Homo-oligomer: A and B are copies of this chain.
Amino acid sequence: MSFYALIMAGGVGTRLWPLSRRDRPKQALQLVGERTMFEHAVDRIAPLFQPEQIFVVTGAEHVESLAAQAPELPLENFIVEPEGRGTAPAIGLGAIHLLRQDPEAVMAVLTADHFIADTTRFRRVLTAAAQVAAAGYLVTLGIRPSSPSTGYGYIKQGENLDTVDGFPVFHAERFTEKPSLETALRMVESGEYSWNSGMFVWRVDRVMAEFQRQMAEFYVQLAEVQATLSTPGYEPTLSRVWPQVAKQTIDYGVMEGAESVAVIPVDIGWSDVGSWASLLELLEADEAGNIVVGPHVGIDTQDTLIFGRSGKRLVATIGVEGLVIVDTEDALLVCTQEREQEVREIVHLLEREERGETGYL
């Protein structure tokens, strides 16, 4: 069995504005420590994969930046989508590249913009999952829920199939998209559900078979591109076919209807770092409950996230509590924590006012 990683690096992350921008997506941000999210994503699997075994799917506009962040990866391992069509097509495109390397390849589909604190345990579960995948299962990594979040999909654990390297493996009985709070509460209390991490491990031939069975039109489109791999016709074909591909997520398109789906629920210190509030949970606060990145001087400042990365700009605060302050070169956000989900709305406002050309988007 040969094991490959496919890092999905196509996201944007508008909820992390003003740090995230069109040309500075979430995976390029230094949110935790000095390494970017993409660098973390590559670092944590480096002990498990040779650089040649690590592939990245992304958009043309991000390749240069990502390649600079991971110079150890071969340039040809960066697979470029002409435009984003959702996770299912991105994974399909990665899959045909891996099939060419090895028809019996097992691939781990990994995320570029999530944080994982316990990287040792993460690599151990990937190794265990690869063994389960080799037997034909589509394996999803489930995250033990720490709260009844309504922002994630949930996976119901069914029959206990096996225990591999100490990790219990369950039949994945059902995928549930972002639930209501009531439903989420019930699911978390039952102890039978994991969050859907968006990370999967499977044999490439197995996922291709599911594409063929469940996404027949896409499978034909993908086969057309596959036929041109390693030929001068590849890029023109991809550019012609891709815009016609229907947008689809791997959850809807494949996982919910797939056969032999397993889930391994794990506790690996996972965070999707999906919003400024998630950083408040992730980073260590000082005695006053503040998390401060960058120069700061404060009087009576509490439970506040101050995220300044634009060099040596000083942030001074007096008498504030429960705020999110994000300071960048050309834009500043001051927001209450309870309203921080509305950062997305600011981005929409800017889009509507066509302020994009001024560089704020």
A323 CB contacts on chain B under 8 angstroms: 320, 334
- Quick check: is A286 within 8 A (CB to CB) of the other chain? no
Q: Mark A320-361, 1 if CB is under 8 A from B, else 0.
A: 100101010111111110111011011001100101001010
A299 CB contacts on chain B under 8 angstroms: 339, 342, 345-346, 349
A312 CB contacts on chain B under 8 angstroms: 330, 358
A317 CB contacts on chain B under 8 angstroms: 333-335
Cβ B315 vs Cβ A340 within 8 A: no
CA A201 to CA B315, docked complex, whole Å: 43
Min CB distance A316 to B, Å, is 5
Known: A312-B330, A330-B312, A360-B314. A320 touches B297 (CB 8 A): no
Known: A297-B349, A297-B350, A297-B353. A331 touches B318 (CB 8 A): no
CA A320 to CA B358, docked complex, whole Å: 25
- Quick check: is A313 within 8 A (CB to CB) of the other chain? yes
Cβ A297 vs Cβ B346 within 8 A: yes
A334 CB contacts on chain B under 8 angstroms: 315-318, 320, 323, 325, 334
Known: A327-B332, A339-B300. A346 touches B313 (CB 8 A): no
Find the residue from A316, A336, A349, A358 having the highest chain B CB count within 10 A: A316
- Quick check: is A319 within 8 A (CB to CB) of the other chain? yes
- Quick check: is A18 within 8 A (CB to CB) of the other chain? yes
Q: Which of B316, B332, B353 contacts A313 (CB 8 A)?
A: B332
Cβ A343 vs Cβ B331 within 8 A: no
CA A319 to CA B343, docked complex, whole Å: 11
Cβ A332 vs Cβ B332 within 8 A: yes
A338 CB contacts on chain B under 8 angstroms: 319
Closest chain B residue to A350, Cβ basis = B297
**A–B pairs, 14, beta carbons within 8 Å:** A297-B346, A297-B350, A313-B332, A315-B331, A316-B332, A316-B333, A317-B335, A318-B333, A318-B336, A318-B340, A319-B342, A320-B334, A327-B332, A332-B332
The 8 closest A-B pairs by CB, nearest first: A319-B339, A318-B335, A319-B336, A314-B331, A318-B339, A316-B333, A316-B346, A315-B332
Residues of chain A touching chain B, judged by Cβ–Cβ distance below 8 Å, are 17-18, 297, 299-300, 308, 312-320, 323, 325, 327, 329-336, 338-340, 342-343, 345-346, 349-350, 353, 355, 358, 360
